Amino acid sequence: MKIMFYDTKPYDKIWFQPMGQDMGFQMKFQEVKLNEDTAVLAKNYDAVCIFVNDDAGKNTIRILKELNIHTILLRCAGFNNVDLKAAQEAGIQVLRVPSYSPEAVAEYAMGLILAANRKIHRAYVRTRDFNYNINGLMGIDLVGKTAGVIGTGKIGQMMIDILKGFKMKILAYDPYPIESLEVEYVDLDTLFERADVISLHCPLTKDTRHIINKRSISKMKDGVILVNTSRGALINTSDLIDALIRQKFTGVGLDVYEEEDEYFFEDKSDDIIRDEDLVRLTSFRNVILTSHQAFFTKDAMEAIARVTLENAKAVEEGRELKNIVLP
């Protein structure tokens, strides 16, 4: 199988190159993202391997079909950037990495909660300027407070385990509750009303898009901490900014952003940022914004490469496709 990789960085090649060569794949790595203009680069290849901000929409799928591409390999868990119906109609198989390191994402989400609560990011900046004044850096004890976890898949479950270690009361919401999970499931409104800390761990679907909006924010406690390490469009950014202006949140930790495609994973330090919402978010001292790095550990990257290439091998050998994604 010949695989064209899109949106690759040096750290992708560390694991994919040696593993892929050992498995007999021919691979080429492109820095550009997949879209309808760059799809032609996959001519004479069998499969494309893409990441979270590549565009495998209807028009891109049409071009891939014309190029006889038969497989899209997602080196991530989410698949909201792929038109699954168009892919199925084109006869293109879509495979993903459903679980690579739920621990990595959950640990990072807890890190954002701790930093947002105790203002660690602000303390770091102060002390680098030899300012040792702690005024304005007060937080709360998490012990005995209530945490709300939205989404109880593998990452959400790991998050619940971590929160239990902090002796927090835990509420959970998921349309498909897990009976064996020792947690109190509630409806969304109840979670919003009772939680002191809210962490998002659900996929982006038509039902979860903008699950955090003006209405849901209005139901939250004043001084709540909100963290999102899942998908940016779970939050309506304009509504979040309005609430930040009204000082609704003690802190907000975002590892994802609704319109991140153009910016995240890239060095834009010399550019003029034209996304007004992104600029506005970075202006709030109680917002921690990072560049979609919650997954980024050695363990996770190795697992992503291994499972992605195992998916490709299963296609090549005509075996059962355990990680196929269907509409």
Catalytic residue ranges: 231, 260, 292
Q: Which residues pair with 172 in a beta bridge?
A: 149, 185
**Could you tell me the two tokens for 154?**
């593998």
Rounded to 5°, angle at Cα 28 from 24 and 321:
55
Strands (DSSP E) found in the chain:
2-5, 26-29, 47-50, 71-74, 93-95, 146-150, 169-173, 184-185, 197-200, 224-228, 249-254, 287-289
202 C-beta neighbours (distance < 10 Å), count = 22
Q: Which residues pair with 125 in a beta bridge?
A: none
55 C-beta neighbours (distance < 10 Å), count = 20
Strand bridging mode 169-173 / 2-5: unpaired
Strand bridging mode 224-228 / 249-254: parallel
What's the rounded Cα separation, in Å, for the pair 257 and 261?
9
